[in-house]
Amino acid sequence: MGNAVGCVSAGVKAPKKASSYGFNPFPLFSSFHGRPRNALQSSSSSSRNKKQKRERIQVDEGSAITSEQALPAALPFHSDQTSSSIPFSRSTSVVHPSLGSKKQSFQRSSSARRRSNNDPLIKRPHQLVNQEPKIESPETSHFVLVHGGGFGAWCWYKTMTLLKESGFKVDAVDLTGSGVSSCDTNSITSLEQYVKPLIDTFNELGNEEKVILVGHDFGGACISYVMELFPSKVAKAVFIAATMLTSGQSALDTISQQMGSNDLMQQAQIFLYANGKQNPPTSIDLDRTLLRDLLFNRSAAKDVELALISMRPIPFAPVLEKLSVSDDNYGSVPRFYIKTLQDCAIPVSVQEAMINSNPPELVFEIKGSDHAPFFSKPRALHRILVEISKITHR
C-alpha cells in the first residue's frame, strides 16, 4: 500500500402529471440546450463520442482495491470537450495553503510510516526531510459523507470501508429523492427539503459532538447549508470536486460563470418536466450511455455498472436556489478542498475558480481521479481524509 503524507503550511405543491408539451423558456432558462424528456419516460439510449509557491507531495495509490453534473446541464454549450485517455499508474496528492484564506492556524500532521525507497520523491522544507513528524490525534473520529447530485449513500462504499478500518465512525446520508429515499425527485422544491435527511442527522448528534462533514459535487452546496445551521457541530468541512459557494450564489451561478463549453455535458443532460413543459424543469437526468465518459472516465467497470443501476435524477429547484451563509456560522468552520484532476464533469478550471473566489484553508489534489475519486482513487482519497482529520488548531 502507499504512503500517506501531508505537509501543511501555517407548503410544497403536488406536481402535476408529466406533460409531453414543449417548454417555453423563461429568461432564466433560456440557455437550456439539453434534451427534454417527459418525467415518466426512460432516457435515450443513443450514444455520442464524447500560485504563492506550493509544496507538492506524491502519494502512491497502491494495488488494492451534482447541481454538478446537472449544473452545467442548464448552461449553453457550443464546443466539444474530450476526455483524456492517458493511463495513470499512480495518484498524486498536492496540498498547499489557500492564498486568500483568512485562517492559517493549523498544525502539521503526518503518517506514522516512514517513506520507503519505492515511494515517489517528496518536495518539502529541508528541516522536515530528516525528521519523523509528530503524530497528532484526530480532533474528531466521526465522518459524515454527503453524495453529489444523482448519487446516493451507496457511492461511498469504498470510502466507508477504509475509514471504518482506520477506526473512524462513518455515516453516509441519502438526501431526499436520492439512493433509497422513497421521495419523487420531481417533487423537491427547495434546498431545505433536499437536505432534510442531513439536518435530521445533525439533530441527532449530542450537544458536544462534532463531525468532519464531507460533500461531493452538488453535496458541497448541501453541506454549506448545514454548516450555517450547525457550525458548532462541524469540526471541518471537506469539499470534493464540489460546489463551494459564497453567500448569494446558487450552484448554477457558480458553474455558469466558469463552465464555458462542455459538449459532453450538453449531450448527456435530459430535462424532466413533471409539471408540464410550459413550466420549468423539475429535475435533470443523465444519459446512461454517456456516464462513463462524463463522470467515470478513470473508474472500474464494476463501479460504473453500480452507478448505472443506482443513479437517480437530480432535483432542479435546489440547483437554482441561492445560498445564504454568514461569516459567524459558515465562515467559522475550517474548509478544505480536494481537486480531481481528470474530471470531465466539473473541470479543474471550474474547481479553481471556486477556490479562488472562496478560499479554503488548504487545497489537495488527486492525480488520475475522475469526478468520482471514491471509485477511481479510493485509497488516495482515504489518505487525504485521514490527513485532514489530524490537522488541529494551535
First CA to last CA distance, the chain: 31
Q: What letter would DSSP give residue 310? A: H
Choose the catalytic residue: 184, 287, 343, 370: 343
Question: Checking phi first, is residue 333 left (phi over 0); if not, alpha (psi -120 to 50) or beta?
Answer: beta
**What phi, psi does 133 have (nearest 5°)?**
-60, 150
CB of 96 within 8 A of CB of 344?
no
Burial class (CB in 10 A: 0-12, 13-18, 19+), 361: buried
Alpha-carbon dihedral angle through residues 315, 152, 348, 125, given to the nearest 10 degrees: 140
CB of 114 within 8 A of CB of 81?
no
CB of 378 within 8 A of CB of 94?
no
What is the distance between the alpha carbons of residues 383 and 59, in angstroms, rounded to a whole number?
A: 9
State yes or no: is 393 an active-site residue: no
Choose the catalytic residue: 60, 184, 217, 370: 217
What residues are annotated to the active site?
Answer: 217, 343, 371
